[in-house]
Amino acid sequence: MSHPRFFGYGSLVNRATHEYPSVRPLRVKGWARAWRHTGLRDVAFLTAVRDPQSEIEGLSADVPNADWAALDEREFAYDRVPLVDHANTVIYEIPAGKHTAASATHPILLSYLDVVVQGYLTEFGEAGAMRFFDTTQGWDAPILNDRAAPIYPRHQTLRADEISFVDQALVTLDCTILKR
């Protein structure tokens, strides 16, 4: 019998943020990503949103012994939802109606975005990282530059080329960067 699996589409794509086994790339249809805010967190974060026209890449990994406690704690603001086209695999989403757009009061953390993009660069190369930007909604949200003193608890150190890649993508998207 196989282990249950999860599909990660944000920070879970960065293997440095977890130790889940049997990690492999996965593409799921009918989903996109969006920057959202809930009352459960002070800042915006990614959620999967249902979108029949979209397809997103990420990583799938085993949840040994079906022990969801640690992952559910990490993903506490989300509901765990079975993926229809991928047996025994779940995706985490914030249910519709329980999230709002990111804002200056609840911005995207650059340290969080850096972790996500570093994961996509490692797993899928520059083309895959660009697909991350293309299949994510909400880039009109402000981004708080917290690189000098990261707020995101699983922040990682990026190489100069990774920082440059993120910064150039944000310029291309005409994102608003807030100074801390």
89-125 residue pLDDT tens: 999 898 877 777 887 888 999 999 999 999 999 999 9
| Closest listed residue to residue 146, CA positions, set 115, 179, 173, 118 | 179
In degrees and rounded to multiples of 5, residue 74 shows phi and psi of -60, -40
Q: What is the mean pLDDT of residues 4-28?
A: 93
Report helix, strand and coil shares of the chain as percent, to nearest 5.
30, 30, 40
Q: So what's the pLDDT on residue 101?
A: 80
Q: Is the pLDDT of residue 142 over 60?
A: yes
Q: Is the pLDDT of residue 1 over 70?
A: no
Residues in a beta bridge with 144: 109, 178
More confident residue, 70 or 31: 31
Q: How many Å apart are CA 92 and CA 85, to the nearest integer?
A: 15
The CA-CA-CA angle for residues 136, 139, 142, to 5°, reads: 140
Structure tokens at 69: 């406690």
Beta strand 100-101 with 24-37 is antiparallel
Q: How many Å apart are CA 93 and CA 147, to the nearest integer?
A: 27
Q: So what's the pLDDT on residue 78?
A: 81
- Report residue 104 CA to chain centroid gap: 20
More confident residue, 132 or 1: 132
Q: pTM of the predicted model, to two decimals?
A: 0.93
Residues 6+ positions from 107 with CB-CB distance below 8 Å:
43, 44, 141, 142, 143, 144, 178
